[in-house]
């Protein structure tokens, strides 16, 4: 860390590393999903569901959920699996960039997380209200906390940098005198 960067308190460093770890876990998960989807391209999806989900977990083959799942599995073709696999890899790459950048305490990573996570929050909030589930609510609250914390850090950092720039200008003697606005006199 250079001298111009502000010092980070130990608890702030811990929180940044915790967020980075969370993002890296997401990246590993989506990488595994991508490989799984690409590998599934060469198999019959309905047979895969029967052999690896329905039979091992003793799901009722007469249930509506199993019927729906098998009907959806019949619609899936290798091209769809290829596109979904590559989409998972792209999402994993984004999470890897966020996680590694936050772990290394890069300023751009904080902006990236705020922009990406913040832009998806409206969809997540809609999903919570559309079909409520506890895990969705926990995910929204977690993402709100992450975005709020990082925005708070970015605002404090911007204020600190502005103060340092102001002090540097004053020390160098290059003070900028701001002109006073003219007050119009009403006759």
How much is the pLDDT for 153? 92
Q: For residue range 119-132, list pLDDT tens digits in order.
A: 999 999 999 999 88
Sequence-distant (≥ 6) Cβ neighbours of residue 31 within 8 angstroms: 88, 89, 92
Residue ranges in 104-176 assigned as alpha helix (H): 107-130, 134-172
Dihedral of CA 141/36/57/54: which sign?
Answer: positive
Q: For residue range 7-21, list pLDDT tens digits in order.
A: 667 888 899 999 999
Q: Helix, strand or coil for residue 60?
A: coil
pTM equals 0.77
Phi, psi of 151 (to 5 degrees): -65, -45
Cα–Cα distance for residue pair 26/20, rounded to 1 Å? 10
Helix (H) or strand (E) holding 23: helix 10-40
Q: For residue range 29-77, list pLDDT tens digits in order.
A: 999 999 999 999 989 999 999 999 999 999 988 899 999 999 999 999 9
């Amino acid at each position: 860390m250079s001298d111009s960067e502000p010092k980070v308190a130990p608890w702030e460093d811990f929180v940044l590393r915790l967020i980075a770890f969370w993002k890296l876990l997401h990246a590993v998960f989506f990488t595994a999903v991508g490989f799984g989807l690409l590998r599934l391209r060469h198999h019959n999806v309905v047979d895969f569901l029967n052999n690896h989900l329905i039979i091992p977990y003793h799901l009722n083959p007469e249930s509506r959920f199993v019927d729906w799942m098998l009907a959806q599995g019949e619609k899936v073709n290798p091209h769809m699996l290829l596109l979904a696999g590559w989409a998972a890899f792209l999402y994993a790459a984004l999470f890897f960039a966020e996680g590694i950048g936050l772990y290394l305490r890069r300023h751009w990573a904080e902006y990236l997380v705020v922009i990406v996570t913040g832009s998806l929050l409206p969809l997540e909030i809609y999903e919570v209200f559309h079909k409520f589930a506890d895990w969705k609510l926990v995910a929204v609250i977690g993402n709100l906390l992450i975005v709020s914390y990082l925005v708070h850090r970015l605002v404090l950092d911007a204020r600190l940098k502005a103060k340092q720039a102001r002090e540097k200008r004053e020390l160098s003697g290059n003070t900028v005198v701001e002109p006073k606005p003219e007050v119009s006199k009403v006759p």
